[in-house]
Amino acid sequence: MNRWMRRGIATVALLMGFALPASATSTGIDYTDQWWGGQSESGWGVNFIEQGTTIFATLFVYGSDGTPRWFVSTMESGGTTSFSGDLYSTTGTYYGTNPFNPNIGVTKVGTMAVNFVSAYGGSLQYVVNGLTVNKTVIRQSFRNNNIAGSYMGGMAATASNCHSGVTNGAAFINGGLVVTQNGQNVSMAVSFFNGGGLPTVCTYSGVLVAQGVLGQIANGTFSCLVNNGSGNSQSNAGNFNLDNMTMTQDGFSGVYTGSDQYCTYNGWFGGVKAPM
């Protein structure tokens, strides 16, 4: 990123007090989602609900007679990407009982462990009455997210491997952020004034792919145009990826990696919804 643009971007970021939506868990990646073995193993699945370093799992499978089985586990991680705990079967009050009178029975049947190799996949092992089952699991996706709207935000990253007179360090592209979306095709335009006081727009484009409740943009492209009063001239341009994207009613954010003709960037990209 050229020097004059970086100075202007950093100034905008400071004036905005820019902040991205925070993760819901202290482990960095929130594994809360519906997980399964993929289309070839349709019919069974496991729900993971994560709070802090604890996951509560509900596993729905079938017995040898084809009737449904339900198991639960509370798994702990200690702050890693691996979780484990005891596995239980439960009995309870008939759902049609009115008034409802809780009468819960809990029986330990074995153990459950999951090791996440990425934000989107991992390996699951569970033991039921001595029978060990190993599965590869992924997040189940059944609806694409739509993030179109107006935000305050952009990129906040660390620049490294810089050259052409550009130094390593903090890099910001923050301002008004307008996102348009057509199907899975997304365009994210950040508007701000550069260090020379000239209007600048950086546009990030790519395909938003659902990964369960998360989103991912791989192999996106971006370019920045500066309005010098007599027309637009291109400055920074390059490629980027957005991973582990979380999307809420307040905004969206994701892990950003990218590069242009000056530097390599690692950080965050996203925004908070602008006031109506």
**Segment 241-263, tens digit of pLDDT:** 999 999 999 999 999 999 999 99
What is the chain's mean pLDDT, rounded?
Answer: 90
Q: Is 149 in the same domain as 268?
A: yes
- Residue 194 in tokens: 């550069």
According to DSSP, the β-strands at 185-193 and 169-182 are: antiparallel
Give the model's pLDDT for residue 19: 42
Residues 6+ apart with CB under 8 A from 106: 88, 89, 90
Asked if the structure places residue 26 within a domain, the reply is no
Q: Is 170 in the same domain as 223?
A: yes
Range with the poorest average pLDDT among 10-24, 195-209, 221-235:
10-24
Mean per-residue pLDDT for 261-269? Answer: 97
How many other C-beta atoms lie within 10 A of the C-beta of residue 246?
20
Rounded Cα distance between 206 and 185, Å, is 6
Mean per-residue pLDDT for 99-112? Answer: 95
Asked if the structure places residue 60 within a domain, the reply is yes
- Provide the CATH number for the domain around residue 254: 2.40.128
- Residue 32 in tokens: 């809360």
Q: Is 174 in the same domain as 63?
A: no
Q: How many domains does the chain have?
A: 2
Res. 274 pLDDT band, cuts 50 70 90: confident
Choosing from 120, 139, 158, the residue where a domain stops is: 139
User: Which residue would you say has higher pLDDT here, 144 or 114?
Assistant: 114
Task: Report which of 171, 214, 251 is spatially closest to residue 28, judged by C-alpha positions.
Answer: 214
- Inter-residue contact 180 to 161 (CB < 8 Å): no
Asked if the structure places residue 28 within a domain, the reply is no
Asked if the structure places residue 69 within a domain, the reply is yes
Res. 18 pLDDT band, cuts 50 70 90: very low
pLDDT in tens, 136-147: 999 999 998 999
Q: Is 150 in the same domain as 256?
A: yes
Give the model's pLDDT for residue 178: 98
pTM score, two decimals?
0.85
pLDDT at 5 over 80: no
The range of the structural domain enclosing residue 60 comes to 39-139
Asked if the structure places residue 27 within a domain, the reply is no
Q: Please, what's the largest Cα pairwise distance for the chain? A: 77
| DSSP symbols for the chain | --HHHHHHHHHHHHHHT--PPPPSSTTSS---EEEES-GGGTT-EEEEEEETTEEEEEEEEE-TTS-EEEEEEEEE-SSSSEEEEEEEEEE---TT-SS-----EEEEEEEEEEEESSSSEEEEEEEETTEEEEEEEEE---S-----EEEEEEEEEEEES--TTPPPEEEEEEEEEEEEEETTEEEEEEEEE-TTS-EEEEEEEEEEEEETTEEEEEEEEEEEEEE-SSSEEEEEEEEEEEEEEEEETTEEEEEEEEEESS-EEEEEEEEEEPP-
Asked if the structure places residue 82 within a domain, the reply is yes
pLDDT at 68 over 90: yes
Choosing from 100, 124, 139, the residue where a domain stops is: 139
Res. 276 pLDDT band, cuts 50 70 90: low
Q: Is 250 in the same domain as 200?
A: yes
pLDDT at 109 over 90: yes
Choosing from 139, 155, 185, the residue where a domain stops is: 139
Q: Is 82 in the same domain as 172?
A: no
Q: Is 169 in the same domain as 242?
A: yes
Give the model's pLDDT for residue 129: 97
Residues 6+ apart with CB under 8 A from 15: none
Mean per-residue pLDDT for 175-195? Answer: 94
Give the model's pLDDT for residue 219: 97
Asked if the structure places residue 189 within a domain, the reply is yes
Give the model's pLDDT for residue 230: 78
Res. 234 pLDDT band, cuts 50 70 90: confident
Which residue has tokens 């582990």?
244
Q: Which amino acid is it at 199? A: P
Give the model's pLDDT for residue 189: 98
